[in-house]
Chains A and B, each alone.
Chain A
């Protein structure tokens, strides 16, 4: 039998070399090194995902990554200064700001004022110290064969480790700012862990503003029983961004996730979310605003592993220029997850003839007593609506802007934190203002 030889692309070869060279310098001892090695073996087996891998059909990483940039050097003073200058769209929302420069935690530039029930640290340190929380959860919140996650696990450098103690109610939103500081193209592998213990309450913002980098970021998120977690992922900035959310949600929790994506080159945000206990209410939502040749891929895998949970998946994208928006959403209802109530809706608003929207909703239902549905639309702004607004004296451009604002506003309004809602509406209006 002929031996099958896999041809490696330059990027794949560079990633292998990076893993070998970084070797002992990557944080973490025995168990972590084993976890890395297993993950890297998974990655090497199949290489970078490409268009014949169904989950990556529309975002062919093998083609998009002509080369893999070298691992980012630890940020120097100049890099930190640049990172501090990144615009803060949540300045008015009274957040606790934690700054990460090229993926590395900068405690001296972070708000570490003590608060009961909150502990904050760096992943690199936790890995080096053999921290039990990290050992218990990193790579275990949602096990997946996904290549990007495997690569992240193999090469994870730094990130946040946050623990919210049982019953704690964290006052201000925690704003994790992942800013780009380096001026040279680099690869950045960020891994964070957030554990929200039972009945705790917190608002989290994961905010990425990349430079000319290849960012692969992953977050293990544990939502304890009866906890209330609002999680916002903001993706903006240039370069290639691949983000993975690996979430496990406990019984009776209230979990709201929101992804806001704009002004990117290529971004892939994939969420793997498991509802592990009964009585969960979840809203998984997002808004993308695209122009030029921007490419945004939102991929969801929602697993209803327990019954009596309600989830609402609602995504909207606005596509101008030659941009490309992708939505792949799969809801899986496990055999015993009876009384599941899941509804997924994705809508694309096309502002130009050359923009493209691909929507791929999927339901896999193995239980017989459930209410599940999905829908997808893609259309230009309604001429009828535009005429109605214009007939009242509103000029064409302003009428269209108002309709786009309304289109995304309907989803942004679902965010309960007023300051965050206002910040995103402001950002959306700013995007519209830059049109024309």
Chain B
């Protein structure tokens, strides 16, 4: 069984069906790209996996390492190694980035029955990672994401991911709002986390990001389901032909 198994997932929000029997498997060590047109349910899949409350799962299951996570709260899922990099990272006024990172890391460690990380060890980890992502010490002292540009917020997401070291990382449209330089920095951060012990899902609308984060497998979503899967060349094909073919197939 794959590390992540999404089985026949049906999801509604306020009575509107968004996911329609979605199946997906992602192995450890694999980077899977999920591509699809707007409204195909990509972000919904990300939120449902992370445990956002607004969505109603009407059928199906999501298994992480063979265990269903649908009844777990978002923090319990995080402690099991799930991480969602938000398309629009949230500003948290009044909570310093360092405090936030340390609280999150220690909460996860506590939930897993591990001891708290020591202060010097933690500071070194954050400083080293931040430096690689071009995040200044001054930004670490500021409140989480407050007053940051779109690109800076995305880098903060990657910093959080690097510190928390998840087993399954879901990156939701991490490329949106990034210029080419920021995209490269973010992609380098993600690539540094590629490992045989970690699964990654990269959700994107455009092929561009996949030039920098080269996927092992590409899944195409339309109308709430995975309609086609293939190798990295599938992304190029989509870039050339667009998504129209899948939407028409669905309508037919």
Contacts and interface: CB of A to CB of B under 8 A. Distances in A.
A254 to B, nearest CB: 25
B107 A395 contact: yes
Nearest to B101: A392
B75 A395 contact: yes
A387 B52 contact: yes
B79 A391 contact: no
Interface string A386-411: 01111111111011001101110110
A385 interface: yes
Contacts of A436: none
Interface string B67-97: 0000001110111000110100110111100
B204 interface: no
B75 A394 contact: yes
Q: Is the interface of A mostly helix, strand, loop or mixed?
A: helix
A45 interface: no
A386 to B, nearest CB: 9
A384 interface: yes
B52 A392 contact: no
Contacts of A390: 51, 73-75, 78
Interface residues of A, number: 22
A276 B90 CA distance: 44
A404 to B, nearest CB: 9
B108 A393 contact: yes
A399 B107 CA distance: 10
Interface string A185-217: 000000000000000000000000000000000
Nearest to B105: A393
A407 B53 contact: no
A389 B102 CA distance: 12
Given A402-B95, A409-B94, A391 B111 contact: no
B233 to A, nearest CB: 33
B53 A387 contact: yes
Given A387-B53, A390-B75, A410 B93 contact: yes
Contact of B94 (A387, A388, A394, A405): A405
- Output the residue of B89, B99, B104, B108 with the most chain A CB within 10 A: B104
A422 B9 CA distance: 50
B18 interface: no
B100 interface: yes
- Output the residue of B50, B86, B92, B164 with the most chain A CB within 10 A: B92
Nearest to B92: A385
Contact of B50 (A391, A398, A410): A391
Interface residues of B, number: 30
Contacts of B111: 393, 395
A385 B144 CA distance: 11
Contacts of A399: 75
B169 to A, nearest CB: 12
B160 interface: yes
Interface string A281-298: 000000000000000000
A385 B84 CA distance: 14
Contacts, number: 76
Contact of B74 (A391, A402, A409, A410): A391
- Output the residue of A384, A389, A410 with the most chain B CB within 10 A: A389
B40 to A, nearest CB: 22
A396 B78 contact: no
A136 interface: no
B103 A402 contact: yes
A433 to B, nearest CB: 15
Contacts of A410: 93-94
B78 A391 contact: yes
Nearest to B50: A391
A387 B47 CA distance: 10
B94 A406 contact: yes
A237 to B, nearest CB: 28
Contact of B104 (A387, A393, A396, A409): A393
A398 B107 contact: yes
A21 interface: no
- Output the residue of B74, B99, B108 with the most chain A CB within 10 A: B74
Nearest to B94: A406
A195 B93 CA distance: 38
Interface in B153-194: 160, 164
Contacts of B52: 387
B170 to A, nearest CB: 10
B74 A406 contact: no
Nearest to B112: A393
A400 to B, nearest CB: 12
Contacts of B107: 393-395, 398
9 contacts: A387-B74, A389-B100, A391-B74, A393-B75, A395-B107, A396-B75, A406-B93, A407-B94, A410-B94
Interface of B: 50-53, 73-75, 77-79, 83-84, 86, 89-90, 92-95, 99-100, 103-105, 107-108, 111, 143, 160, 164
Closest 10 CB pairs of A and B: A406-B94, A393-B78, A393-B108, A392-B104, A390-B74, A388-B90, A410-B94, A390-B75, A406-B95, A391-B74
Given A387-B74, A395-B75, 12 more contacts: A383-B53, A384-B90, A385-B90, A387-B52, A391-B50, A391-B51, A392-B100, A393-B75, A393-B78, A394-B75, A406-B93, A409-B94
